[in-house]
Amino acid sequence: MSSTSRRRSSTAGESSSRKYARPKSRNIGGDTRRYATPGTGELIAREPRQRRLSAEAADHQKLVAQFTPRELEVLRLMAEGLDTATMADHLGIAAHTVQWHVRHVIEKLRVHSKLQAVIEGARKGLIAF
């Protein structure tokens, strides 16, 4: 190739190095597509979501496993707005025992009050309204 013909192809807007570069997409039947099969994008998008959901479910199970059934019941009663004495009557246990359950719930949720425990318990899916 002479220097004149090289210059012409350069002036035409296409250098010799770009002429042989691998294309980033293909033109198939007039439709430009990426190097993927149909539906791949959907599968790729779905996989991290499924992984995240299964991880969240596992985390939720670990969280629930930290609590005794009685502590979860006390948390639900706290969410209903019952005081310690009413919870004790409802559960058929001493008020002092209810206070212990409340203290354990607060510690396990790493909060400082009954109200914060109810809010955090709802946020983490331990109780529903």
Residue ranges and CATH numbers for the domains of the chain are: 60-123 (1.10.10.10)
Ramachandran sector of residue 92 (left: φ over 0; alpha: ψ -120 to 50; beta: rest) = left
**Nearest CA to 120 among 74, 66, 79?**
79
State the pLDDT at residue 122. Answer: 95
% of the chain exceeding 90 in pLDDT: 48
What is the average pLDDT score of the chain? 78
CA distances from 53 to 47, 50, 64, 109 (A): 10, 5, 16, 22
Which amino acid would we find at residue 127?
A: I
How many CB atoms within 10 Å of residue 34? 10
Each residue's pLDDT tens digit, 20-71: 555 555 555 655 555 555 655 665 566 677 776 676 677 777 888 899 999 9
Lowest-pLDDT range, 56-60, 70-74, 121-125?
Answer: 56-60
